[in-house]
Amino acid sequence: MTTVFEITQGTSPVILAFPHTGTDVPMEIWERLNDNGRLLADTDWHIHTLYSGLLAGATVVRATFHRYCIDANRDPAGTSLYPGQNTTGLIPATDFDGLSIWKDGQTPTEADIAARLERFHAPYHAALLAEIERVKAIHGVAILYDCHSIRSNVPFLFEGTLPDFNIGTDSGKTCDPAIERAVVDVTAAAANYTSILNGRFKGGWTTRHYGRPETGVHAIQMELAQSTHLTTEAPPFAYDDAKAERLRAPLRTILERIEAMAPGLALPSP
């Protein structure tokens, strides 16, 4: 592995982040995964393809490493995003079904965590922060839109079926209310889709860490149910072009609306 992230620098005030679409796993880590882990089932399958071309000029920052190496959307200190609820950690010990992903005796150690923070997590976030600062310097504001997906039914993590659109703003803390409202309005109006604001997913570490509206940096997370764009939420996790094309319409509207709001949110020049 020569790089752990990919960047496309754009001119828009909107930044798209993809922490979980990567599938690269170095051999020394791959050899420690068991057969279940090697399915890489908890990937945000094809999400970067789904969003590709939706907003001309958007900056894109994408992790290329898999979340089983280390999760780029978890607190580097290891603090749980959802205390008291089932979740997966900085380096997951299990998949989203609560099943082990590591061979016996190969669960990552504290030393592994430290090494992978330095090798994967820190460089990705350094790149993301640099783009946030670059975009904010141009526009006086940066809007970070964190792109995610998950199976619509994961009993280990939540009861019942997940809505199609799951919007996270940490209960309104990470972005201006107008951004939150615009995204909610688009998803609520999207025919034949369901949506929720700050339900099971309130925004991961990325959204909570960078979303500081008072500093001109706004962040929002979109967790999509994979049933909206995959043929099946099981191997081989194939992309469904027809489903995806329908979904791209409201997603495009969301990105265009939040981009149009940016000038009104820009901080005055110092």
Sheet architecture: strand order including 59-63: 5-8, 59-63, 14-18, 142-150, 217-225, 165-168, 195-197
What is the chain's mean pLDDT, rounded? 96
Mean pLDDT score, 128-137: 98
> In this predicted structure, what is the pLDDT of residue 214?
97
Q: Is the model's pLDDT at 2 over the cut of 90?
A: no
State pTM to two decimals: 0.96
- Out of 12-26, 67-81, 215-229, least confident range: 67-81
- Per domain, the residue ranges of the chain are 5-265
Position 201 confidence tier, pLDDT thresholds 50, 70, 90:
very high
Q: Is the model's pLDDT at 65 over the cut of 70?
A: yes
pLDDT digits (tens, 9 = 90+) for 136-159: 999 999 999 999 999 999 999 999
Mean pLDDT score, 36-46: 98
> In this predicted structure, what is the pLDDT of residue 1?
45
Mean pLDDT score, 192-203: 96
pLDDT digits (tens, 9 = 90+) for 218-260: 999 999 999 999 999 999 999 999 999 999 999 999 999 999 9
Fold of 5-265: Aminopeptidase (3.40.630)
Mean pLDDT score, 159-168: 97
